[in-house]
């Protein structure tokens, strides 16, 4: 008997009927006939955690190393569509489920994936595929994430809590800038300069591809995009904690920069183009609305105001209301009185003295007085790079504002000045 059991375990033949050999299966049981064997029930192990529809769909069309060859894009889309259809036939379109539904899953009636029984009868496969574990698959193609509005508002709120005005570093990617003479027109030089500003303490980096100095000529849209987008993309990748701003009045340039990683648009025309507010609101970004009379090429021809403070504040209040109607709240709308834009030295001084009244409109205030020509008109004929002391004195009043931002070319000195001045104000 022991020998027979050993032969059965080893799968050997058993001699029957006078020495004839009869083939026996390896797992043959001597006391069980073929007709009496139980039905074989096959089970399928479902583990939705191991399934990734994006990987399955995206794997079709990639060559060695995951790199698409020339002419492979169209064929890849066809293969992805076929793979997506196969997955939908297997699991059904009900697999598409949001994150909130998974968060609200009840442990008893809708268990998490690891709580599912590991083996299911074939009749239960269709039902099991509809469970929340399988619905985690997302069959639609992924989309690039837009800049989330609450991220920008959180970053701005953190800046206002620092106890000093925020500092916006100016990066002019132009060959005809009045302040730096086109030293950073090349993308590599502009990125290096912006990173140095970030290391010096800049909270915001403002990238501009078109000069707004008096008498400056307009730049075509394509050329401006070519100037600013590489710099914006590099800064957004290298300094994710820094707010990247684009200085433009063209909606096409703003859309390209926001898609590249910018989160703020600095528009010297206060969104005169009706499409600008829609672009900013659609991207969840913020906007700086500045007062300027006319165009940069002609703005200094008419600098006479009956009441410059009242006119500027009324204009900015109307533009802030238009931004709110477009879907941009006050927390993401910053107001700039436009120091040096269509105003003489006396008008600029009056606007600087009336900054608390501008802050009363309910929006953060941006002041850009760095290296402006009115400083030389008041203090003497110094060149742009010799106006640092006057630039710092012009923005001293911003420390008394609850939410203020200073636009500066000399970031390190401006940060040090505002920090010390805010400390003195806090100690008083």
DSSP one-letter code for 68: -
Token pair belonging to 87: 């997955």
Measured in degrees and rounded to the nearest 5, phi and psi for residue 204 equal -135, 140
The torsion angle over the Cα atoms of residues 210, 213, 315 and 405, rounded to 10 degrees, is 80
Q: How far apart are CA 399 and CA 404, in angstroms?
A: 8
Contact predicate 309/350, CB 8 Å: yes
Instruction: Name every residue whose Cβ is closer than 8 Å to that of residue 86 and which is 6 or more positions away in sequence.
Output: none
Query: In a 3-state reduction of DSSP, which class is residue 404?
Result: strand
Q: How far apart are CA 2 and CA 14, in angstroms?
A: 13
Token pair belonging to 60: 């079709």
Active site residue 15: no
Contact predicate 204/169, CB 8 Å: yes
Active site residue 130: no
Alpha helices for 92-148 (secondary structure H) = 99-103, 125-129, 132-135
Token pair belonging to 264: 């703020």
Q: How far apart are CA 178 and CA 82, in angstroms?
A: 57
Q: Which of 247, 234, 241, 233 is nearest to 173 (CA)?
A: 247
Q: Which of 267, 289, 389 is nearest to 333 (CA)?
A: 289
Q: Which of 155, 164, 403, 407 is catalytic?
A: 407
Q: Which of 319, 372, 387, 403 is catalytic?
A: 372
Rg (CA), the chain: 34
Tell the burial category of 52 from Cβ atoms under 10 Å away from its Cβ (0-12, 13-18, 19+).
middle
- Catalytic residue numbers, as ranges: 372, 407
């Amino acid at each position: 008997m022991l020998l027979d059991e050993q032969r059965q375990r080893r799968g050997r033949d058993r001699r029957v009927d006078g020495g004839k050999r009869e083939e026996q299966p390896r797992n043959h049981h001597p006391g069980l006939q073929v007709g009496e064997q139980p039905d074989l029930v096959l089970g399928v192990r479902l583990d939705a955690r191991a399934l990734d529809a994006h990987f399955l769909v995206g794997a079709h069309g990639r060559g060695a190393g995951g790199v698409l060859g020339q002419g492979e894009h169209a064929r890849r889309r066809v293969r992805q569509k076929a793979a997506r259809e196969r997955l939908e036939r297997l699991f059904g379109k009900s697999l598409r489920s949001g994150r909130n539904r998974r968060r609200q899953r009840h442990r008893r009636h809708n268990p998490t994936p690891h709580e599912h029984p590991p083996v299911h009868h074939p009749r239960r496969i269709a039902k099991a595929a509809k469970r929340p574990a399988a619905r985690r698959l997302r069959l639609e193609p992924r989309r690039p994430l837009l800049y989330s509005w609450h991220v920008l508002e959180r970053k701005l709120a953190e800046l206002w809590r620092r106890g000093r005005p925020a500092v916006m570093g100016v990066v002019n990617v132009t060959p005809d800038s009045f302040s730096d003479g086109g030293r950073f027109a090349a993308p590599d030089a502009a990125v290096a300069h912006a990173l140095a500003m970030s290391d010096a303490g800049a909270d915001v980096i403002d990238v501009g591809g078109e000069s707004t100095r008096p008498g400056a000529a307009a730049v075509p849209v394509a050329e401006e995009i070519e100037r600013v987008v590489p710099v914006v993309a590099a800064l957004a990748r290298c300094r994710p904690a820094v707010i990247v701003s684009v200085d433009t009045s063209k909606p096409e340039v703003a859309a390209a920069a926001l898609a590249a990683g910018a989160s703020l648009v600095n528009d010297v025309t206060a969104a005169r183009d009706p499409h600008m507010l829609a672009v900013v609101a659609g991207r969840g970004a913020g906007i700086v609305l500045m007062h300027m009379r006319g165009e940069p090429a002609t703005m200094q021809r008419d600098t006479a105001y009956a009441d410059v403070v009242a006119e500027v504040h009324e204009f900015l209040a109307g533009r802030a209301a238009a931004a709110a109607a477009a879907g941009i709240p006050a927390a993401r709308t910053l107001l700039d009185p436009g120091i040096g834009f269509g105003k003489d030295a006396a008008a600029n001084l009056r606007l600087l003295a009336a900054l608390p009244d501008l802050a009363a409109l309910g929006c953060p205030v941006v002041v850009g007085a760095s290296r402006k020509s009115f400083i030389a008109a008041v203090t003497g004929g110094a060149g742009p790079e010799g106006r640092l002391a006057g630039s710092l004195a012009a923005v001293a009043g911003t420390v008394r504002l609850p939410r203020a931002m200073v636009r500066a070319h000399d970031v390190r000195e401006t940060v040090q000045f505002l920090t010390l001045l805010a400390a003195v104000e806090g100690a008083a």
